[in-house]
Amino acid sequence: MITFLFFLTFLLFPIHCQELFLSEQNLELSGAAFYQDKIIVITDELSESTIYSVELNREKQEFTLESKFSFWQMPDFYLYSIDSFFSHLPLFFKKYMPFDWEGLAVCGEEIYLVNEQVREVILFKNNSFTKLDLKLNSLHDFLFSGVPNAGLEGIALDCDSQVLYLGKEREQAGIISYDLKSAKIMNFKKGDELNLHSIADLFFFNNSLYVLDRFAGEIIKLNKDSLQELNRISFKNIEVNGVNIWNIFEGDNKYGLAEGLLINEKEIFLFFDNNQTLLSGPIQKAYAKKSASALLIIPKPLDF
């Protein structure tokens, strides 16, 4: 059934329906979410530590990024920084970074952030930062397996049920579902159990959990409780202006650069981390830009 639906996707939505948007700014975009009827994104650059709102110009296929919350301008961020520094001091001697924002999820006015390398979840609300005391000790070895930046990359939230989903990126990828009300782990699946190569982002939509597998160039739909696969689609062979989406930036991007995932009733949004590299030659020529942040919008299949 999954194979048939995958084939049907490309019959219903031919490749010319995809749209690539470039921004004037050149930032390493990571997680994305909907907040107050806007799209917001976060960058994984230490110097930035900023949440941006996204303004789309569909006619020009451009988007602009406007600073929504700049953490360095908030006194409470420094208090969190001091606490984080001393509580994770042994990690910093092992070359872990104190701030590596890789994902965000929204529930009303609450924004949940993952700080990848120290494997933390932060609740950001009213310009204050609260580290969640998640009871994940039983998964400590799993969470800290691999190199420092192979940690928590994706986050999603079932706001109604108050269930938090966390995705560990690679070198033992996996997904954790966690009940915030009872402070208990509900489910845990390793990546190889779900046929996932990596986890770049998570998104909760219409009672299902969606996973962005950056390495495979796929988006996978999971049952929110069992974490079993329901469907998957690929964006790896999409072309824009005659260029495969894998090659919109210069260099060897064999693992892909898609890191932010958003879904609504009609469209799927994929934000790309450009790793501070230039756009590839054909894209520079088509868009008259040398460097930019990128967003790919593709139609959402009817049953996905």
| Per-residue confidence band for 45, with pLDDT thresholds at 50, 70 and 90 | confident
Q: What is the mean pLDDT of residues 43-58?
A: 86
pLDDT of the residue at 88: 85
pLDDT at 292 over 50: yes
pLDDT of the residue at 46: 67
| Per-residue confidence band for 254, with pLDDT thresholds at 50, 70 and 90 | low
User: How many structural domains compose the chain?
Assistant: 1
Lowest mean pLDDT among 91-100, 186-195, 290-299: 91-100
Lowest mean pLDDT among 97-106, 166-175, 246-255: 246-255
Token digits of residue 61: 């296929």
Q: What is the mean pLDDT of residues 184-202?
A: 95
Q: What is the mean pLDDT of residues 242-247?
A: 88
Q: How many CB atoms lie within 10 A of CB 290?
A: 11
pLDDT of the residue at 11: 42
Give me the domain span that covers residue 173.
Answer: 2-10+20-299
pLDDT at 51 over 50: yes
Tell me, what CATH number does 243's domain have? 2.110.10.10
Q: What is the mean pLDDT of residues 182-190?
A: 97
Q: How many CB atoms lie within 10 A of CB 189?
A: 17
Q: How many residues does the chain have?
A: 304
Give domain status of residue 221, yes or no.
yes
pLDDT of the residue at 255: 63
What SS3 class is residue 115? strand
pLDDT of the residue at 44: 75
Give domain status of residue 262, yes or no.
yes
Give domain status of residue 195, yes or no.
yes
Give domain status of residue 208, yes or no.
yes
Q: Which residue has the higher pLDDT, 233 or 100?
A: 233
Whether 25 and 292 have beta carbons less than 8 Å apart is answered as yes
| Per-residue confidence band for 97, with pLDDT thresholds at 50, 70 and 90 | confident
Q: Which residue has the higher pLDDT, 263 or 89?
A: 263
Give domain status of residue 183, yes or no.
yes
Token digits of residue 94: 């092992």
| Per-residue confidence band for 95, with pLDDT thresholds at 50, 70 and 90 | confident
Give domain status of residue 304, yes or no.
no
Contacts of 270 by beta carbon, 8 Å cutoff, 6+ apart? 212, 235, 258, 260, 261, 295, 296, 297, 298
Give domain status of residue 83, yes or no.
yes
Q: What is the mean pLDDT of residues 103-109?
A: 95
Give domain status of residue 15, yes or no.
no
